[in-house]
Amino acid sequence: MQLGTIIKGKFPTYDSRGTATHYALVFRVESDVGRLARIFAVVGTSQRVSRDGHTPTEFVLDQRDAAFVESGLEKATKFDFNGLKFVVEDWMDAKVVGKITGRALTRRMVQAYAAHVTPQRPR
CATH number at 92 reads: 2.30.30.110
Q: What average pLDDT score do residues 20-26 get?
A: 90
The whole domain housing 79 covers 5-117
pLDDT in tens, 62-116: 998 888 899 999 999 999 998 878 888 877 788 999 998 888 888 888 888 888 8
pLDDT in tens, 39-61: 889 999 888 888 777 788 999 99
Residue 77 located in a structural domain:
yes
Residue 32 located in a structural domain:
yes
CA-CA distances (angstroms) from residue 112 to 10, 90, 91, 98, 115?
24, 27, 28, 19, 5
Residue 123 located in a structural domain:
no
Contact (CB, 8 A) for 62 and 79: no
| pLDDT over threshold 60, residue 24 | yes
Q: Name the domain count of the chain.
A: 1
Indicate the DSSP class of residue 116. H
Q: How confident is the model at residue 120 (pLDDT cuts 50, 70, 90)?
A: low
